[in-house]
């Protein structure tokens, strides 16, 4: 099975030499950096060579070719392994880049980063995330293949996972869903090395991984102790690829740090660079020159010959695309082109019919779906409740992968990471929803999406104490401040249906993740937003009412509290107090405005009261005083909870007058 790759370099079989060289590079880079994880990379050198040298289709000169096989290194700490293979196979990663491993600004950071290093598909590091990302990529491939046919979309997603990935809870969630959906083009290879940082995995782990994955509906290939047998490894992977109705787990027993004379099978090989003496001793065993970053030119030449198959596969794919009438539509989706939808007029909602923003969100998404066929929407068992049930769509299932409605089940963390994988695969725009308080369960995935600039849209509903009777466990308080603090995440809390419509239109064209924070309860549809939101929402904040040059006080609200501020402004106006109401749906967008424009909206020195039914943390940057909730909620009907916690129009009036030095009852 390996004869087609035969060849001799300096008296050695070239593939055997390749594995030795990869092991050498896996030691050299961490040793030079005085930081890194050599052991796993050394152990997995044969597997990595089989994947890149024998199995996968990719073109180093066109790393974003849409129908390439995808590779995800879920234990991203072993990044030098991936960098070594990308370098050897001809990606734009030089020997000097390998030598700059973990150096500021280099192409070879400590963990793989998408958009930073050619050939890296996703950002990995937090264990288990990459595995769930792979499930998302496989879902995207399966969905697009079902819609456009094998001729245009037909590739595999390969991921290496470690003990840590499988211990993390996210892997259980993601594996369960992948088995249920029958993702036959997903192949996970389990690096079963029995080592964690603390020591042997047996300290904390006694799972039957094979039994566990079989119970999820996976095809399992137990290779046993053949970590250096290239033909056996390839045979196991080919068997997995041949199973097209189930995802596959290939279990490979490896020896971390092999063949180090001191650190083989040692926890010390996991996260500690080897000394120069240990590197020299190991290279002697490997029978390669004791020189840093050794790669003979003939080895580069052999890898260039091997990767020819990927170039030929890409060229054949391009010919098929040119002949297939479905290609222009697929190309638009792969490019994320939303121009046809941008050209349409926004929905305008009826002011006579109060509407929860979760409901208007669903209407906005449904209205756009015919022009945005890339939308694939669903919820963590809350699809209808969160407005993410795409009207008219069928469910994505093993029997119907062309469906655009995803039932993620009660798996928030996996849902978030799967959405990231789908987005980074390309061709789909994932939308996923859950109650806002449960965003905490998926926070790790949200953060990686932000780091990765993944185009995903979160619909976080039941956004405040308006949840009511479900009580403090379900009433978000600190979540808004927490997510606003996350770099790269756009957080939008619209005031009503009209703001939600405009926010949705911005979200579908964003270049990174967007969190829509939506109400459970019905909210008034405001006449002002119908006139102003389309023009001013992207400013992050705008004057809804009271554009006087010198207002006495500014009421600054978000979400459901904007209408509360408007009600308070009527009372204040009747008492002769010039009041401006400002809606601030997105703090980050406001922060990006020109300072002069910000000053027009929130004039410095004008008493400003922020009103939001959540933590007041962060509002001091915009307001003189903040009305909010810096405690957990309570169980009662929503209107009673607002009253009990003082988030009312009457209280806004009282506090605003206090700020102006007006005693109670005085005009």
Secondary structure letter of residue 647 according to DSSP: -
Instruction: Return all residues near 230 (Cβ < 8 A) that are at least 6 apart.
Output: 2, 15, 19, 46, 49, 50, 54
Q: How far apart are the first and last CA of the chain?
A: 90
Cα–Cα distances (Å) from 235 to 4, 46, 210, 229, 440, in that order, read 14, 13, 18, 10, 42
* Contact by Cβ (8 Å): 356, 523: yes
Q: How far is CA 149 from the centre of its chain?
A: 27
Rounded to whole angstroms, the Cα distance separating 587 from 622 reads 9
Q: Exactly one of 412, 501, 528, 612 is catalytic; which is it?
A: 412
**Residue position matching structure tokens 């490997």:** 286
For 109-135, b/e burial (b = at least 16 CB within 10 A) is bbbbbbeebebbbbbbbbbbbbbbbbb
Question: Exposed, middle or buried, 179 (CB in 10 Å: 0-12/13-18/19+)?
Answer: buried
**Residue position matching structure tokens 């089940």:** 409
Rounded to whole angstroms, the Cα distance separating 228 from 221 reads 17
For 568-596, b/e burial (b = at least 16 CB within 10 A) is bbebbeeeebebbbbbbbbbebbeebeee
Active site residue 412: yes
Instruction: Return all residues near 48 (Cβ < 8 A) that are at least 6 apart.
Output: 22, 81, 82, 84, 85, 160
Rounded to whole angstroms, the Cα distance separating 275 from 473 reads 51
Secondary structure letter of residue 471 according to DSSP: -
* Contact by Cβ (8 Å): 257, 39: yes
Rounded to whole angstroms, the Cα distance separating 111 from 93 reads 15
Cα–Cα distances (Å) from 459 to 146, 454, 503, in that order, read 26, 15, 12
Which of the residues are catalytic? 412
């Amino acid at each position: 099975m390996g004869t087609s790759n035969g060849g001799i370099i300096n008296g050695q079989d070239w593939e055997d030499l390749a594995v030795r060289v990869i092991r050498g590079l896996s030691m050299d880079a961490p040793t030079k950096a005085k930081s890194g994880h050599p052991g796993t990379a050394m152990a997995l050198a044969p597997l990595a060579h089989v994947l890149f040298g024998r199995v996968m289709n990719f073109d180093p000169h066109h790393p974003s070719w849409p129908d390439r096989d995808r590779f995800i290194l879920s234990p991203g700490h072993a990044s030098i392994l991936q960098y070594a293979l990308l370098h050897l196979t001809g990606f734009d990663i030089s020997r000097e880049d390998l030598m700059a491993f973990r150096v500021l600004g280099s192409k070879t950071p400590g963990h793989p980063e998408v958009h930073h290093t050619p050939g890296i598909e996703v950002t990995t590091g937090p264990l288990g995330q990459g595995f769930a990302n792979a499930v998302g990529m496989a879902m995207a491939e399966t969905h697009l293949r079902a819609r456009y046919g094998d001729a245009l979309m037909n590739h595999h997603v390969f991921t290496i996972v470690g003990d840590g990935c499988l211990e993390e809870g996210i892997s259980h969630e993601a594996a369960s869903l992948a088995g249920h959906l029958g993702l036959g083009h997903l192949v996970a290879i389990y690096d079963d090395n029995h080592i964690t940082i603390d020591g042997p995995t047996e300290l904390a782990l006694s799972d039957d991984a094979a039994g566990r994955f079989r119970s999820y509906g996976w095809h399992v290939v137990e290779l046993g102790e053949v970590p250096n047998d290239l033909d056996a490894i390839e045979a196991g992977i080919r068997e997995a690829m041949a199973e097209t109705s189930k995802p596959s787990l290939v279990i490979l027993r490896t020896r971390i740090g092999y063949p180090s004379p001191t650190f083989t099978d040692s926890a010390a090989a996991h996260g500690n660079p080897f000394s120069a003496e240990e590197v020299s001793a190991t290279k002697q065993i490997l029978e390669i020159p004791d020189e840093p970053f050794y790669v003979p030119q003939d080895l580069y030449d052999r890898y260039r010959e091997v990767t020819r198959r990927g170039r030929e596969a890409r060229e054949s794919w391009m010919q098929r695309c040119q002949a297939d009438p479905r290609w222009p539509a697929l190309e638009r989706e792969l490019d994320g082109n939303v121009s046809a939808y941008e050209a349409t007029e926004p929905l305008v909602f009826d002011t006579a019919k109060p509407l929860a923003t979760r409901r208007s969100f669903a209407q906005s998404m449904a209205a756009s779906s015919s022009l945005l066929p890339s939308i694939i929407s669903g919820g963590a068992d809350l699809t209808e409740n969160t407005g993410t049930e795409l009207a008219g769509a069928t469910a994505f299932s093993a029997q119907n992968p062309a469906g655009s409605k995803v039932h993620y089940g009660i798996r928030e963390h996996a849902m978030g990471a799967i959405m990231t994988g789908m987005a980074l695969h390309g061709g789909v725009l994932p939308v996923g929803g859950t109650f806002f308080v449960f965003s905490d369960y998926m926070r790790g995935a949200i953060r990686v999406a932000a780091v990765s600039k993944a185009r995903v849209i979160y619909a976080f509903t039941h956004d405040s104490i308006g949840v009511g009777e479900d009580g403090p466990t379900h009433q978000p308080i600190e979540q808004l401040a927490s997510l606003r603090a996350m770099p790269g995440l756009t957080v939008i809390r619209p005031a009503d249906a009209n703001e939600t419509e405009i926010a949705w239109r911005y979200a579908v064209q964003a270049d990174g993740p967007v969190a829509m924070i939506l109400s459970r309860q019905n909210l008034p549809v405001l006449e002002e937003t119908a006139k102003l939101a389309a023009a001013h929402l992207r400013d992050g904040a705008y004057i809804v009412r009271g554009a006087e040059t010198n207002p006495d006080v500014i009421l600054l609200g978000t979400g459901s509290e904007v209408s509360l501020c408007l009600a308070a402004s009527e009372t204040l106006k009747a008492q002769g107090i010039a009041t401006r109401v400002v809606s601030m749906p997105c703090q980050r967008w406001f922060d990006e405005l020109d300072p002069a424009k910000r000053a027009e909206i929130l004039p410095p020195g004008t008493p400003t009261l922020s009103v939001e039914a959540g933590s007041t943390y962060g509002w001091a940057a915009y307001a003189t005083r903040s009305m909010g909730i810096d405690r957990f909620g309570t169980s009662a009907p929503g209107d009673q909870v607002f009253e009990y916690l003082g988030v009312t129009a009457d209280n806004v009036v009282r506090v605003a007058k206090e700020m102006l030095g007006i005693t109670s009852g005085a005009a």
